[in-house]
């Protein structure tokens, strides 16, 4: 899952980024409102952590611009304690949740997981596409209740595919969700991970959970159970 962090205080921005990376997110960092706006429009992400008090365009303006441009990504706003009333305005402008500084990092990560789940139409921590079951709090996969070992990248890719089960996902969008660093992105790598996932999810080639859509990308075809 890819998260955009827009925060001008460098110490907090770094703390946020390392905590999110440690929790398995891919992180983009923006140091002010203008950069945040640029990322939000050009790099699709799964959630935004947005400080309201920013140089350049402030957080409230970003929310308004994204929402009016149809960017529906879940937004978690950060507000200074002295400006707590801003959170009301932020929520009214279209933010989804807020935290008042200082906050506990685990709380922020838990809130982000909830926001992303809700935005994807999932109401709990398990993504079930029987016989596949992904436990997002533990970061594990089970097939008919039997645990399967996945590497970090395999897990990330599968999580994204299962969250969007039934949708065609381009190799480009998949690589963007796997790698923060553009220099590391190579859509050929996705083919390798898909092949490895297929052999783990479907060793006998009987279920064919991941369909290749020629010229378009991949689709997780095993239906999800709500």
Footprint of Ca ion (CB under 5 A) = 8, 51, 53
Rounded CA separation 131/4 (Å): 33
Which two tokens mark 100?
């008042």
Torsion angles phi and psi, residue 77, rounded to 5:
-95, 150
Identity of the residue, 40 or 53, whose beta carbon is nearer to Ca ion in the bound complex: 53
Residue 51 CB, nearest distance to Ca ion (Å)? 4
Helices 187-201 and 171-178 pack at an angle, to 10 degrees, of: 90
Rounded CA separation 126/60 (Å): 33
Q: Which residue is nearest to Ca ion (CB)?
A: 53
Closest CA to 48 of 98, 12, 85: 98
Residue 120 CB, nearest distance to Ca ion (Å)? 29
Classify the C-alpha dihedral 184-75-97-84 as positive or negative: positive
Identity of the residue, 36 or 217, whose beta carbon is nearer to Ca ion in the bound complex: 36
Rounded CA separation 207/130 (Å): 11
Identity of the residue, 33 or 217, whose beta carbon is nearer to Ca ion in the bound complex: 33
Residue 219 CB, nearest distance to Ca ion (Å)? 41
Residue 63 CB, nearest distance to Ca ion (Å)? 15
Residue 9 CB, nearest distance to Ca ion (Å)? 5
Identity of the residue, 57 or 196, whose beta carbon is nearer to Ca ion in the bound complex: 57
On whether the CB atoms of residues 169 and 160 are closer than 8 A, the answer is: yes
Identity of the residue, 58 or 140, whose beta carbon is nearer to Ca ion in the bound complex: 58
Residue 199 CB, nearest distance to Ca ion (Å)? 47
Query: CA dist 50 to 4, 15, 30, 58, 78, Å?
Result: 8, 14, 10, 10, 6
Identity of the residue, 90 or 209, whose beta carbon is nearer to Ca ion in the bound complex: 90
Rounded CA separation 173/101 (Å): 33
């Amino acid at each position: 899952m890819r998260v955009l962090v827009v925060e001008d205080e460098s110490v907090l921005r770094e703390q946020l980024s390392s905590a999110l990376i440690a929790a398995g997110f891919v992180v983009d960092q923006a140091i002010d409102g203008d950069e945040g706006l640029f990322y939000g429009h050009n790099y699709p992400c799964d959630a935004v952590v947005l400080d309201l008090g920013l140089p350049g365009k402030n957080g409230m303006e970003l929310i308004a611009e994204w929402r009016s441009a149809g960017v529906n990504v879940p937004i978690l706003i950060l507000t200074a304690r002295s400006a707590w009333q801003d959170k009301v305005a932020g929520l009214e402008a279209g933010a989804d949740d807020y935290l008042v500084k200082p906050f506990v990092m685990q709380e922020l990560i838990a809130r982000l997981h909830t926001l992303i789940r809700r935005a994807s139409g999932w109401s709990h921590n398990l993504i079930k596409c029987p016989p596949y079951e992904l436990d997002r709090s533990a970061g594990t996969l089970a097939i008919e209740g039997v645990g399967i070992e996945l590497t970090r990248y395999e897990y990330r890719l599968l999580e994204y595919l299962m969250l969007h089960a039934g949708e065609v996902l381009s190799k480009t969008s998949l690589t963007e969700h796997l790698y923060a660093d553009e220099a590391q992105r190579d859509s050929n790598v996705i083919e390798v991970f898909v092949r490895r996932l297929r052999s783990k999810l479907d060793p006998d080639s009987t279920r064919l959970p991941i369909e290749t859509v020629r010229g378009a990308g991949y689709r997780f075809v095993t239906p999800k159970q709500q």
